[in-house]
Amino acid sequence: MADLSVNIAGVEFKNPVIPASGTFGYGREYGRFYPLSKLGGIATKGTTLESRLGNLAPRIAETPSGILNSVGLQNPGIDKFIRVELPNLMKQETVIIVNIAGSTVEEYIEVAKKLEETDAHMIELNISCPNVKEGGVAFGVSCDSAAGITAAVRKVTKKPLIVKLSPNVTDIAGIAKAVEAEGADAVSLINTLLGMRIDIRTGRPVLRNNVGGLSGKAVFPVAVRMVWQVANAVKIPVIGMGGVATANDAIELMMAGATAVQVGTAMFANPFAPIEIIDGINEYLDKNGISSVREIIGSVKSW
């Protein structure tokens, strides 16, 4: 068996496969299918300062090769997460990455401060959230706002900080460099692409929120391109995601420059997808005489 271990910001992962935030909950449901210790890590559902009920239904809709969602960060709030969910997660013998979100800089800071007092291994900063003090524009759509929220959170935590980047921008490499300059230890990308569908029978959008995030196989080529661009622009590790459903997808993203990958929408159809991807990566490495998965990171050849 090949060496599947990778290191991100000083944290050792037994393999590079991580269920993505928002698709794995807090792991309890998937733990019925296989030991969570088999996973390289777990990125928790986005957690905010106060509990949220999320958006009104309908808030998920299938699209060709993907789904649209506007769930709205439904979660129990950071205090209940720390009290109820985190203790169970910390027993799973894998890396726990807590994804955090907020509507203001102050909310992000408070959530990060609370996590600093826990044993959680890493924080993933979701900067695709709307900044209510700036007219609802997402934190992650400009270099200045992305850098600002990263700097604010960096000041209150010593935990390794992953910044999750939005693809709904014109220069993702520039934003990656901006958060790197403000103390990000790694970046993860891509978050969902903004999309919309209309039901022609009713004349209404298929989502109650009108627009939502597009994920699934449809976004994979965009993810490969953006991971490649960012990996060539920053010195910190890149975690790739966006349409990963098979081992081949994961290997492709790693060749583009990702140190690890997150698996999301694929798990709704196949809860065993992360385990199959881990096994498939190992089979590929063995078949090609590659002793370590680290050898394929950024190995894409230029024409």
* Residues known to be catalytic: 129
* Max Cα–Cα distance, the chain, nearest Å: 56
Residues 95 and 36: beta-carbon distance below 8 Å: no
Nearest residue to 266 (alpha-carbon basis) of 75, 95, 67, 98: 67
Coil, helix or strand at residue 232: coil
Which residue type, as a one-letter code, is found at position 85?
Answer: E
d(C-alpha 182, C-alpha 73), whole Å: 26
| The dihedral formed by the CA atoms of 89, 23, 271 and 241, expressed in degrees to the nearest 10 | -100
d(C-alpha 245, C-alpha 267), whole Å: 8
| The dihedral formed by the CA atoms of 177, 182, 185 and 189, expressed in degrees to the nearest 10 | -50
d(C-alpha 63, C-alpha 54), whole Å: 21
d(C-alpha 181, C-alpha 150), whole Å: 9
The helix (H) or strand (E) run that includes residue 112 is: helix 105-116
Q: Residue 37 is encoded by which pair of tokens?
A: 């210790």
Residues 157 and 135: beta-carbon distance below 8 Å: no
Decide the pairing of beta strands 95-100 and 238-240.
Answer: unpaired
d(C-alpha 151, C-alpha 238), whole Å: 19
Q: Residue 205 is encoded by which pair of tokens?
A: 């959008």
